Amino acid sequence: MSGGSAERERAVEREPTASAHAVSVDPTVPEHPGNPQVPRFQVVPAAYVLLRRPVPGDVEVLLQLRQGTGYMDGHWAFGAAGHVEAGEDVLAAAVREVHEELGVVVDRDALVPLTAMHRTHANGRAIDERVDFFFAADRWAGTAHAVEDKAAALRWVRLGALDDLAEPVVPHERYVLDRLRRGDLPSVTTFGFAAPG
């Protein structure tokens, strides 16, 4: 057994000590190397895919109106999105989600990276700590249609006409769409964190 492994075992066996961070230790969570009482930070990865097509003077993107999901129902969202499954890479997840939700086939090579977003709800819940990978696809096989019940509608919307939608767009997705429209979307973004001091 390596020294690091034995050290981790001893750290798990120790009684938790009170600290300013008051974090309960879960022995199944890898520990932070600098402090065995603070679990290693974890995020939930997700893939988002925006089908897009050119129109005179603008570009249209395919959005879905969410329903029956328990999260942001009644909001417009990227046409396809979902969690990266265990053992799956983010490109495979993006391809799978497009097929599952829109019934079309997108090749991995057709995925255009837009941004990676580190996102939080700042509520301390692990499920609300995210890293989202946003892609666009300009070519695909098949006709997009709502495959799952979680879309009340699908609509092609001009990027310049998002304000004309009767319903709001999921806030972190609207952030990406607005920056994409302005042409200043950075390759890495953050959302939900306090502004740097």
Tens digits of residue pLDDT in 19-47: 333 334 445 545 555 556 556 667 889 99
Same domain, 136 and 172: yes
Q: Does some domain include residue 155?
A: yes
One-letter amino acid for residue 126 of the chain: A
Q: Does some domain include residue 12?
A: yes
Q: Does some domain include residue 146?
A: yes
- Which CATH number goes with the domain that contains 165? 3.90.79.10
Q: What's the pLDDT score for residue 95? A: 98
Q: Does some domain include residue 137?
A: yes
Higher pLDDT, 10 or 106: 106
Same domain, 147 and 167: yes
DSSP per-residue codes, 149-169: TTEEEEEEEEGGGGGG-SSPB
In sequence order, which residues have a C-beta less than 8 Å from that of residue 161 and are 6 or more positions away?
58
Q: What's the pLDDT score for residue 150? A: 87
Q: Does some domain include residue 196?
A: no
Q: Does some domain include residue 157?
A: yes
Same domain, 14 and 60: no
Total domain count for the chain?
A: 2
Same domain, 138 and 165: yes
Q: What's the pLDDT score for residue 129? A: 86
Q: 183 lies in which domain range?
A: 44-191
Same domain, 32 and 88: no
Same domain, 23 and 77: no
pLDDT, tens digit, 9 for 90 and up, residues 93-152:
999 999 999 999 999 999 999 999 999 988 877 778 899 999 999 999 999 999 988 899
d(CA 82, CA 49): 9
Same domain, 25 and 83: no
Same domain, 75 and 25: no
pTM of the model: 0.79
Average pLDDT over all residues of the chain? 84
Higher pLDDT, 41 or 73: 73
Buried b (16+ CB within 10 A) or exposed e, 140-168: beeebebeeebbeebeebebeebeeeeee
DSSP state of 105: B
Same domain, 80 and 98: yes
In sequence order, which residues have a C-beta less than 8 Å from that of residue 68 and are 6 or more positions away?
149, 150
Same domain, 22 and 75: no
One-letter amino acid for residue 128 of the chain: D
* pLDDT tier, 55 (very low <50, low <70, confident <90, very high otherwise): very high
One-letter amino acid for residue 149 of the chain: D
pLDDT at 89 over 80: yes
Residue pair 172/117 in contact (Cβ under 8 Å)? The answer is yes
Q: Does some domain include residue 177?
A: yes
d(CA 88, CA 126): 20
Same domain, 35 and 50: no
Q: What's the pLDDT score for residue 42? A: 79
Same domain, 92 and 14: no
Q: What's the pLDDT score for residue 126? A: 72
Q: Does some domain include residue 197?
A: no
